[in-house]
Structure 1
């Protein structure tokens, strides 16, 4: 949704006209990415769950025409920025219910805790410069803005193999390195998260 909202600020009405500037999750569900793939991974006891929503329709040509490649970078990073804002907001509220004394308090505590965890992990994951993740789009448009034509052309050749590369990384120790920034951010905004996670999982 945030990609569409930022694009709308640069004159692209595509997402708005298709009813996708909405917080209603039903408008963004992808039958395969939101339901089938996570269900299969869960059924086969995969070490992680992975999925996606329907891409928000954006006319990037309109965005670039009105705001240049810098605007395209802003649209690409909109989701990541929103994830981090939500994580910081939830982490700020968490100390208020750090010692819940009711079922409602426990629910709020878990809701805020997992809001921080999930949004930080999503932000870091989507920042990876691997197609089709947001980080790859941002890098692509940044390179175009800088006039690195050779890099852009070489980078575009990777796009057809992006999902293969992505899954290969997720199933190797390299993913631990690429997810390391998530731990740094969590340590910064939610100290003690590892202790809480250990208690919850055990």
Structure 2
């Protein structure tokens, strides 16, 4: 007797958007994950919704529509609040100091930080695109504690070796490097190949 074919489950990623500046990173990640057919589960904090107004012309409903599923930060009974809900992990883009500190200590204060804490306890990858500078000792201690708990602190520091000519290229490079951590390649960046591109672009006669 032929066995029924069980369809493969789509891979799932949780995306958190907190109140730090740099909401463009979260938006681009949602766009790229959709292009890769990754099921996205979005949670935005209230400060994140406020930052959206400052930095874009989008409405909250527009951002929620970019994800397959979305939740309010107060919805602590959501699927992503449970370790039994299997995902690839979580990306917090951008990640504020408050969110980083809550995740580092396990003192979660909403669904965004709870979902990150759940991923860490289940030994799933959590990437925190931390947006703050300059740093005081408390920030550095929180980054160290988050790292000790299994998170990856990934400040969105731009790369210039590929000579970006637009904001989109800078954002795409950083997003591509974040997705590398999940073994996802969307073809967003020029990878370092030993400097051949830079050498080809160097004016003749330069050392």
Q: Do these two structures clear the TM 0.5 threshold for a shared fold by scoring above it?
A: no
TM-score normalized by the length of structure 2: 0.26
TM-score normalized by the length of structure 1: 0.27
